[in-house]
Amino acid sequence: MNAMLYFFTLGLYLAATITYLVYLVKPQPSLAKTSRWIIYGGFLIHALFTLGRYFEGGRTPITNLHESLSFFSLAIVGVFIVFERRYKVTILGSFVIPIALVLMSISMLFPMGIAPLNPALKSKWLVVHTVVAFLGYASFTVAFGAGIMYLIQERFLKQKKLGAMYQKLPSLDKLDDINYRCLTFGFPLLTLAIISGAIWAETAWGTYWSWDPKETWSLITWFVYAALLHGRLTTGWRGRKAAILAIAGFFVLLFTFLGVNLLLSGLHSYK
């Protein structure tokens, strides 16, 4: 049953990615609607799948890479839906939903079974720490999508190539605004994730901070976004600069999430 929901979600994300990408090149308003309903459906089924796993395993289903990737993807779709409804930019999906699909597909590579919980993770902090972290990650992913869109639209405007895609992309101001909102949403969540992690580490391992690779890289990620937020508020790092930093931040974040787990070994390596 649960496996069925999982593959159903995967199928819907694939379908949504296709319709969103076609919408990018074909100006059909009906495609926007279709894509939207597919992604709503995908989100619902994905949420059901996640809840199912929660009850089946009796714990927050974010304990290994398979579950983390799936939850990351769910969070991205959720945050995307919020921003899409708030800003009425369907085309954002053409840049964000494929990422959710890719993460979901990668999750297939890792064992799906519900393994007995690593004793170190048995804590009420698990849910706070992980959910908050992935919601933060998801907002930064949406900021990444908006950043890419900004750079494309900026290029069109600077080079005066005003084609069909230019017509469909929203204004620079709107993209910049989405970028900023994502940042003000994601940054406190990331901060909270690090703080809750430190408290949990103190109760589980006896120390707040042990310079574990995950901790180090989380801190680096935090500094990147802190710099962006600071630059934005003080000297006006907006537009192009903010877009580039949001994109760079996303790659650092990906490394913090995936690279650290797969390449470096440490306390956080839950495969």
Partner 1 sequence: MNIIVVGLSHKTASVDIREKVAFAPTNMEKPLRALVDIPDITEAIIVSTCNRVEVYVTTHDIAGGIARVKRFLADYHNLSLENLDPHLYAHHGEEAIRHVFRVASSLDSMVVGEPQILGQIKTSYGYAAEFKSSGIILNRFLHKAFSVAKRVRTETKIASSAVSVAFAAVELSRKIFDELSDKTVMLIGAGEMCELAAKHFLNNGVRGVMVTNRTFERAERLADEFGGRAVKFDDLFDYLHKADIILSSTGAPHCIIGPKDLDEVMRKRKQKPMFFIDIAVPRDIDPKVNDVENVYLYTVDDLQEVVQANLAQRAEEAKKAEDIVNQEIGQFFKWLSSLEVTPTIVALRARFDEIRRTELEKTLANWKDLPPDGQKRLEALTNAIMNKLLHPPTSLLKKAGQGGRTDLYVDALRALFELQTADEGEQELGELEE
Q: Which residues lie near partner 1 (CB under 8 A)?
A: 27, 153, 157-158, 160, 162, 166-167, 169-174, 177, 235-241
Q: Which two tokens stand for residue 150?
A: 């900004």
Q: Which is nearer to partner 1, 115 or 162 (CB)?
A: 162
User: Nearer to partner 1 by C-beta: 109 or 235?
Assistant: 235
Give min distance, CB of 125 to partner 1, in A.
40
Q: Tell me how far CA of residue 131 lies from CA of 61, 75, 104, in angstroms.
A: 10, 9, 17
Q: Which is nearer to partner 1, 193 or 228 (CB)?
A: 228
How far is the C-alpha of 186 from the C-alpha of 177, rounded, in Å? 14
Helices (H), the chain: 2-25, 29-57, 65-87, 92-107, 125-159, 164-168, 172-205, 213-234, 240-254, 260-263
Q: How far is the CB of 68 from partner 1 (least distance, A)?
A: 36
Cα–Cα separations (whole angstroms), residue 157 to 23, 26, 150, 240: 21, 20, 10, 12
Do 136 and 189 meet the contact criterion of CB atoms below 8 Å apart? Answer: yes
Q: In the complex, what is the shortest distance from the CB of residue 243 to partner 1, in angstroms, rounded to a whole number?
A: 11
Least CB distance from residue 171 to partner 1, whole Å?
4
Nearer Cβ to partner 1, position 62 or 172? 172
Q: Residue 234 CB, nearest distance to partner 1 (Å)?
A: 9
Identify which of residues 169 and 183 has a Cβ nearer to partner 1 in the complex.
Answer: 169
Answer yes or no: are the C-beta atoms of 248 and 228 closer than 8 Å.
no
User: How far apart are CB 245 and partner 1 at their closest, in Å?
Assistant: 13
Between 52 and 231, name the residue whose CB sits nearer to partner 1: 231
With contact defined as beta carbons under 8 Å apart, do 24 and 165 qualify?
Answer: yes
- Which residues lie closer than 8 Å to 160 by C-beta, 6 or more apart? none
Tokens for 258, please give them.
Answer: 């995936």
